[in-house]
Amino acid sequence: MWTDWETIKLSNPLPVHSLEEILDGGQAFRWNKISDTDWQGIWLSNLVRLRPLSSTNLAWSAPQKEADKIYANLISYLSLDHSLEKSIDQLPWRSDPHLSHCLKQFPGLRLLKQPLEETLLTFLCSATKQILQIKQMCELLARNIGTEIHPGIHRLPTWEEIAETSEKQLRGCALGFRASYIFKVAQLLKDQPKFLKQVEAVSYPLAKERLMTLPGVGEKVADCVLLFGAQKQEAFPVDTWIAKTLERRYRLSGWNKKQLTQFGQIHFGQYAGLAQQYLFAWERTHHKQK
DNA sequence: AGGCAGGTGGCCA
DNA sequence: TGGCCACCTGCC
């Protein structure tokens, strides 16, 4: 049923804790640890298992019949076909000791290239929820509304599928007040089938403005969706964690969210989103330890 | 056991 | 603009 494990040789070293931060650090919500070493993840109709063998060897396995396609999608999803070092070098680590520290703590940490439609859905679930609970909502959405892509494994529902269900059905997925946002967005996307394509095609500021016309999408969600789902790398999502980091490590207490967002974009520049991911990983880890 | 969490929208000054 | 509050649900 599943292919034999095959090794991907990584050009940038990726320790296990960095891999786990990529898969389960709040960018995506459909990766689960299935043994001491292995992770299983789903995006669109892709289902794959990963097993870190060493910091430069990552093994993968997928269901036999679609393995070739899934492998190609995996490389793109993890951006393994693109150099991380070049982006990192553009960040202001030379003059920013805290960023420099975070970069050292999580070697190889990357941004995922997720499908826009799924990123929008998962981040509509994210408001005032912890990662574990967001994962549970996604799991219920998949199980209750999404198509089965493998025995016992369901993908997330498409927006068309959501549009054809009911708000009540969505409430049954433990979405709470997020259910009405998601249902309304589904109707809007049904009326404007090209909406997400357009968002992807235009510049970051325009894309953000456009996304924020959707109910349930404010600045933070828009930035996450654009960063993780549309490769708009200048997006700098400011959530409570990043706000904490900026306050404490960058001495910006008293700044409001709008100001913090602007600071991030100006200070970190073209790859602000990548910097955000490193700061975020550090802040989460630090918080867990105390 | 109950406060609180990867926010957003609406209402008020 | 800026501040406050309701909104669902389930983890810690």
Q: Is the CB of A31 under 7 A from strand B?
A: no
Architecture of domain A83-111+232-290: Orthogonal Bundle (1.10)
Architecture of domain A116-229: Orthogonal Bundle (1.10)
Q: CA(A129)–C1'(B7) in Å?
A: 9
Contact indicator for A52, A19 with CB cutoff of 8 Å: yes
Q: By 3-state DSSP, what share of chain A in percent is helix, strand and coil, each rounded to 5?
A: 55, 10, 35
From-to residues of CATH 3.30.310.20 in chain A: 6-81
**Distance of CA A14 to CAs A21, A34, A54, Å?**
11, 20, 8
Q: Is the CB of A222 under 7 A from strand B?
A: yes
From-to residues of CATH 1.10.1670.10 in chain A: 83-111+232-290
Tell me the backbone φ, ψ of residue A84, rounded to 5 degrees.
Answer: -80, -35
CB contact set of A177 (below 8 Å; sequence gap of 6+) = none
Over its C-alpha atoms, chain A yields an Rg (Å, rounded) of: 19
Q: Specify the CATH number for A6-81; select among 3.40.1280.10, 3.20.20.80, 3.30.310.20, 1.10.3210.10.
A: 3.30.310.20
A178: which nucleotide lies closest, measuring CA to C1'? C8
pLDDT by residue, tens only, chain A of 290 residues:
999 999 999 999 999 999 999 999 999 999 999 999 999 999 999 999 999 999 999 999 999 999 999 999 999 999 999 999 999 999 999 999 999 999 999 999 999 999 999 999 999 999 999 999 999 999 999 999 999 999 999 999 999 999 999 999 999 999 999 999 999 999 999 999 999 999 999 999 999 999 999 999 999 999 999 999 999 999 999 999 999 999 999 999 999 999 999 999 999 999 999 999 999 999 998 876 64
Q: Give SS3 for A148.
A: strand
Residue pointed to by tokens 């894309």:
A207
Taking the C1' atom of B4, which residue's CA lies nearest?
Answer: A128
Q: CA(A134)–C1'(B2) in Å?
A: 21
From-to residues of CATH 1.10.340.30 in chain A: 116-229
Tell me the CB-side half-sphere exposure of residue A207, using CA atoms within 13 A. 25
Q: CA(A69)–C1'(C12) in Å?
A: 41
Which bases of strand C sit closer than 7 A to a protein CB? 2-3, 7-12
